[in-house]
Amino acid sequence: MATLCRPAVSVPEHVITVEETLELARSRHADHPQLGLSLRLIENTGVRTRHLVRPVEETLAHPGFEERNRLYAAEAKARVPLVVRRALEDASLRAADIDLVIYVSCTGFMMPSLTAWLINSMGLPSTTRQLPIAQLGCAAGGAAINRAHDFCTAYPEANALIVACEFCSLCYQPTDIGIGSLLSNGLFGDGVAAAVVRGKGGAGIHLERNGSYLVPGTEDWIAYDVRATGFHFLLDKRVPGTMEPLAPALRALADGHGWDVSDLDFYIVHAGGPRILDDLSKYLGVPPDAFRFSRATLTEYGNVASVVVLDALRRLFDEGGAADRARGLLAGFGPGITAEMTLGRWSRTP
C-alpha cells in the first residue's frame, strides 16, 4: 500500500510581518479609494508573518519578467535540494530508489522542468519518470499526492518523490491595485517542500482513496493574466465562499469509502484564508481545532500555494502523528475551482 512519508519544508530567510505589510499598503496606496477595506481584509487573513526569497525592497522593485523568471530558476535550484535530501532521509530511501518525480509550481516557468535538473544533479536514475504540474495553483499539492498514489498503486514496488516550489513574491505586480491584488499582497508567501510516497514500507499515511472535483462555471475565479510584466493574479470576490459547493464533494469521497467525513481523526487541508477553514468546520460539522495545522501554516507562513498541504502535514508529524490506523483527509483547493482529495490511515510501523 502506498505510504506518504514525512514532508520536509523550508522557507526563505527574509521575513515580512503583517504590521510591515499594512504600513507598506498605507504608504504606497495612500490615495486608494478602498484602502480601508484593503487593510481590513489583510488584517483578517490571520497571517502574521511571511517569508520571501528576496529582501522586501527588492521584492517591491519590479525588474521585469525575464529577471524574475531567472531568479525563480536560480532560487529553486539553490533551495530545493535541501528539502529533497531531508525527505529522502525521512523515507529511508536514496535518490537512486526514486521512480517518479512530480514537480508542482505556479510561480515561475522552466523548460525543461526542474525535474530534469533534479535527475541530473541529485543522482536520480535516468529512467525516472517526470511529471511537472504548473497550472493547478494551490490545488497542486493535493494533486501531486494523488498522482503519486496512482503511480504507486499501478507500480507497487515503486517510489515517487513530490517537490513543491512556490515563490509567490516573484509574482508581485506594483501596478495591480484591485482589491483582490492588494489582498494577495498580504496573503501569499514563499516556500519549498518535498515528500516521498513509497509503494512499499515507510511510516506515515497509508493512502487509500483519492478523487477530484471541479465546481462548474468557476474557471475564471482564480486565474493568471499573463502579460509582458509576468503573471498578474486574478481573484474573484466569490472565491472565499467556495467551500459550500466543495464540502459535499469531500463528504461524497468519504461516503464512497464507507467513512463519515465529520468523524475522522485528522484533517490536512489547504489554507487559502481563514474563511476557507471556518466554512469547512461548519459544512463538515467538525470543530475548528481540527484544522489547527493548516491554520498554523497560514499564520506563520501565509498562503504558500501548493506547499501548504505538505507543511500542514509536516506539523502533524512534528506533533507526534496520530494513533495507529487513525483515519484522515487531505485536500488541496485551487483554480478551476478544483479540489484534490485524499483519504488515508496513519501507520506508525514501516
140-173, pLDDT tens digit by residue?
A: 999 999 999 999 999 999 999 999 999 999 999 9
CA 164 to chain CA mean position, Å: 7
CA distances from 116 to 9, 44, 179 (A): 21, 41, 38
122-134, pLDDT tens digit by residue?
A: 999 999 999 999 9
Q: Which of 59-63, 259-263, 300-304 has the lowest mean pLDDT?
A: 59-63
pLDDT confidence of residue 135: 93
Question: Nearest CA to 272 among 303, 311, 244?
Answer: 303
E strand or H helix at 227, and its extent? strand 222-227
Mean pLDDT of the chain: 94
Reported confidence tier of residue 42, pLDDT bands at 50, 70, 90: confident
pLDDT confidence of residue 350: 65
pLDDT confidence of residue 273: 86
Q: Which residue has the higher pLDDT, 297 or 235?
A: 297
- For the chain, domains (ranges, CATH) are 3-198 (3.40.47.10), 204-347 (3.40.47.10)
Partners of 52 in the β-ladder = 14
Provide CB contacts within 8 A for 47, sequence distance 6+.
18, 186, 187, 189, 298, 299, 302, 303
Query: Which pairing describes strands 222-227 and 14-17: parallel, antiparallel, or unpaired?
Result: unpaired
Partners of 163 in the β-ladder = 103, 194
pLDDT confidence of residue 124: 97
How far apart (Å, rounded) are the C-alpha atoms in residues 3 and 118?
22
Percent of the chain with pLDDT over 70: 100
Average pLDDT over residues 20-47: 88
- pTM of the predicted model as reported, rounded to 2 decimal places: 0.95
200-245, pLDDT tens digit by residue?
A: 999 999 999 999 999 999 999 989 889 989 898 888 889 888 999 9
**Among this protein's residues, is 168 annotated catalytic?**
no
pLDDT confidence of residue 339: 97
Catalytic residue among 5, 106, 138, 165: 138
Please give the grid coordinates belonging to residue 255: 461516503
SS3 content of the chain, % helix, strand, coil (to 5): 45, 25, 30
Task: Return left, alpha or beta for 34; rule: phi > 0 is left, psi -120 to 50 is alpha, else beta.
Answer: alpha
pLDDT confidence of residue 167: 97
User: 177 exposed, middle or buried (CB, 10 Å; 0-12, 13-18, 19+)?
Assistant: middle
CB count, 10 Å around CB of 78? 11
Please give the grid coordinates belonging to residue 10: 523550508
pLDDT confidence of residue 35: 84
E strand or H helix at 146, and its extent? helix 140-154
